[in-house]
Amino acid sequence: MVRKVSREDHQGGENAPSDCSSGLKTTQRVHFADAGDMACLQANSVELVVTSPPYPMIEMWDDCFAGQDSRVRSALSGGRGWEAFEAMHTILDRVWNELYRVLIPGGIACINIGDATRTIGGTFILYPNHVRIASHLVRLGFNPLPAILWRKQTNAPNKFMGSGMFPPGAYVTLEHEYVLIVRKGDKRAFDSEVIRSRRRESAFFWEERNDWFSDVWFDLKGTGQNLVDRDVRGRSGAFPFELAYRLISMFSVKGDTVLDPFIGTGTTAFSAMTASRNCIGFECDEGFKNLILARSERLV
């Protein structure tokens, strides 16, 4: 199923940044399909990727990964944490392979990912998701660019994990996630007057540049994760609107196409709509269909 939403001079939804529209008509399409096979998209057809995948080794995503590869469940139940970690990332690798194919030369991918801590087989370990994904992206041929450290402060009263007051009985608490930023090849070419004009129209303000291009983002709070429709999932794993809007404004121009292979509740699509960009999303869980449709009806 593909949902298409057309927009012309739309100003976004609740708490959306205003956009000085240039009269562009944009569309947002959602394919309810596995992003590991995006054959419906031509090679070199997307200017930007903004996404946040299911996080390997976070318990809420176990069923998602196990449903795609039985080795995940077997490794977890057998206490083989690193085997489960690699099996989960092998599933994500298929998506990263497709991103390299569909991005234009000079296109950029922004991937929000957090590391995981977990006790498996009686051993507490940090599973470095950002390292595993970055390594695969480099092997594909992407050029890594400076990443963003998104500091998400915890509301927990204790700033440590573990227990006890005697060293080394406690562990540092993870209060940050990463936004990995990679580029396909060299800088993008703007080789027509139309696209150069759109690039000029997409300029950001001085204050935005100073805030957005810092390598540490500490002013963005995480968004609510609980879903009203429990037939979908208990939690969504969504990032905040502002995070997607910033990345889209930083690394694309008006009229570009933004791809989110894990679109979930549709935050990237609505951020792209507000910024006068097109968006294509993929979501393998059709339970999100009604939620996305309801949100789009409120915005259009």
Distance (Å, rounded) from C-alpha 252 to C-alpha 104?
12
What is the block-wise mean pLDDT of the chain (300 residues), using blocks of 10 residues?
42 36 79 96 98 97 96 97 98 98 98 96 95 98 98 65 74 91 97 96 95 93 54 62 97 98 94 96 82 58
Structure-derived torsion over alpha carbons of residues 264, 117, 65, 178, reported in degrees to the nearest 10: 40
Instruction: Provide the total of helices (H) and of strands (E) in the chain, helices listed first.
Output: 9, 13
Of residues 246, 288, 289, 283, the one with CA closest to residue 50: 246
- Please name the helix (run of DSSP H) or strand (run of DSSP E) that holds residue 23, with its range, or none: none
Q: What is the pLDDT of residue 59?
A: 96
Distance (Å, rounded) from C-alpha 258 to C-alpha 109?
10
Sort strands 123-127 and 116-120 into parallel, antiparallel or unpaired. antiparallel
Bridge partners for 113 per DSSP: 178
Q: Quick one: tokens of 97?
A: 């392979």
Bridge partners for 27 per DSSP: 6
φ, ψ for residue 77, nearest 5 deg: -65, -25
Q: What is the pLDDT of residue 249?
A: 98
Q: How many domains does the chain have?
A: 1
Q: Quick one: tokens of 225?
A: 């994760």
Q: DSSP E strands: which ranges in 37-97?
A: 46-51
Distance (Å, rounded) from C-alpha 37 to C-alpha 33?
8
3-state secondary structure of 136: helix
Of residues 241, 244, 248, the one with CA closest to residue 223: 241
The length of the chain is: 300
Q: What is the pLDDT of residue 7?
A: 40
Q: What is the pLDDT of residue 164?
A: 67
φ, ψ for residue 217, nearest 5 deg: -105, 110
Its domain, for residue 58, covers: 2-162+169-299
239 within 8 A of 50, measured Cβ to Cβ: no
Question: Which CATH number do you get for residue 256?
Answer: 3.40.50.150
Residue with tokens 């993870």: 174
Q: What is the pLDDT of residue 284?
A: 86
Q: Quick one: tokens of 155?
A: 């509301």
Distance (Å, rounded) from C-alpha 141 to C-alpha 150?
25
